[in-house]
């Protein structure tokens, strides 16, 4: 019962465990990632803890607790923790809802064979951030590290349901044995996992809309732009990634009417969606990026 109490953010005065993990009781609407497994699983707590500690030097003192009885029944409930970070684990030997999986798998960029395996998964684990880090980006890094550890136990694909995106679980581990595992996760483009990039074809409209999902969870606006066709996908992926990297590292903000030079002879003006662009509405702030000429840039 003490694990469940601490999982819910309640201190248990009768818990004799040293440095017990206690979820942050003020954690509301926590960030989350989801890990799909091809086959049903039953985790060994000792092996999971060893993998957690071995993942990165900053996690050498990590702790992990699982509900033993539920685990034996094929239901995972537990917590991982290191430093400021605590991650809740909730897993089931059952598939995620197909619609939720499809919106994350379909727009992502990896092989159709792996996508089909993801669609046929038989178990999943949901990771919720429940620690004490204030930076949304650092919270996502902790979730990605936890997902990378689970990948070593058969994790197939990692989803970000809020971002409408997914990534092969193997991509969370660097192929270079000498690389820093956390630096590798830190270097991933935001649009691969921490938020998502989707192409939209709108009935009755020419061209393709490119837009992001999930960026407001990182205190960034979602971005959208109208492109001539699907062939411009990489261009707008890179464009949005550049804007996000600038905003995240500089602490800058964007608002209606702001302009930005993002490369030689590439300029953007940002605006809120027009009345006939209701298909862009969603959760949180979204700005449309229109290409403009150099003469239209706002004076500094």
Q: What is the pLDDT of residue 14?
A: 61
The whole-number pLDDT of residue 16 equals 57
Whether the Cβ atoms of residue 101 and residue 114 lie closer than 8 Å to each other:
no
Dihedral in degrees, nearest 10, Cα atoms 216, 218, 221, 224: -90
Task: Decide if 4 contacts 67 (C-beta within 8 A).
Answer: yes
pLDDT given at position 294 = 82
Quick: pLDDT tens for 89-105.
999 999 999 999 999 99
pTM comes to 0.92
**106-157 per-position pLDDT tens digit:** 999 999 999 999 999 999 999 999 999 999 999 999 999 999 999 999 999 9
How far is it, in rounded angstroms, from Cα 81 to Cα 70?
A: 20
Residues 6+ apart with CB under 8 A from 52: 59, 62, 64, 80, 82, 146, 149
- Measure the CA–CA gap between 160 and 140, rounded to whole angstroms: 10
Catalogue the long-range contacts made by 205-212 (C-beta closer than 8 Å, 24 or more residues apart): 208/232, 208/233, 209/279, 209/280, 210/236, 210/237, 210/240, 211/280, 211/286, 212/163, 212/240, 212/244
CB 169 within 8 A of CB 35: yes
Question: HSE-up of 71 (CA within 13 Å, CB side)?
Answer: 14
Q: Measure the CA–CA gap between 63 and 65, rounded to whole angstroms.
A: 7
Distance (Å, rounded) from C-alpha 91 to C-alpha 78?
Answer: 9
| Nearest Cα to Cα of residue 125 among 23, 215, 28, 48 | 48
Question: Would you say 42 and 70 are in contact if contact means Cβ atoms under 8 Å apart?
Answer: no
pLDDT at 78 (0 to 100): 94
Q: Which residues of the chain have pLDDT under 50?
A: 1
- Please name which of 35, 40, 81, 26 lies closest in space to residue 59, comparing C-alpha atoms: 81
Q: Vertex 109, ends 104 and 110: CA angle to 5°?
A: 100
């Amino acid at each position: 019962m003490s694990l469940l109490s601490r999982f819910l953010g309640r201190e248990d005065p009768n818990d004799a465990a040293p440095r017990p993990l206690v979820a942050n009781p003020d954690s509301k609407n926590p960030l989350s990632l989801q890990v799909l497994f091809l086959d049903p699983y039953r985790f060994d707590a000792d092996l999971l803890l060893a993998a957690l500690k071995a993942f990165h030097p900053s996690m050498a003192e990590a702790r992990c607790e699982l509900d033993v009885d539920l685990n034996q029944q094929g239901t995972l409930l537990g917590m991982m923790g290191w430093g400021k970070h605590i991650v809740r684990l909730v897993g089931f030997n059952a598939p995620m809802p197909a619609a939720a999986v499809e919106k994350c798998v379909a727009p992502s960029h990896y092989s159709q064979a792996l996508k089909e395996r993801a669609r046929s998964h038989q178990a999943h684990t949901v990771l919720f951030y429940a620690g004490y880090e204030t930076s949304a980006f650092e919270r996502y890094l902790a979730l990605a590290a936890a997902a990378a550890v689970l990948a070593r136990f058969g994790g197939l694909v990692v989803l970000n349901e809020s971002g409408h995106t997914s990534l092969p679980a193997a991509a969370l581990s660097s192929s270079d044995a000498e690389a820093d595992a956390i630096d590798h996760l830190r270097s991933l483009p935001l649009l691969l996992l921490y938020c998502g990039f989707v192409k939209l074809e709108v009935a009755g409209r020419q061209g393709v809309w490119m837009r992001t999902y999930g960026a407001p969870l990182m205190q960034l606006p979602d971005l959208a732009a109208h492109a001539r066709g699907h062939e411009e996908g990489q261009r707008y992926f890179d464009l949005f990634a550049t804007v996000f990297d600038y905003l995240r590292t500089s602490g800058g903000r964007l608002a209606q009417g702001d302009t930005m030079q993002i490369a030689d002879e590439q300029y953007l003006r940002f605006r809120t969606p027009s009345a006939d662009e209701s298909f862009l509405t969603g959760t949180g702030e979204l700005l449309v990026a229109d290409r403009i000429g150099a003469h239209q840039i706002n004076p500094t």
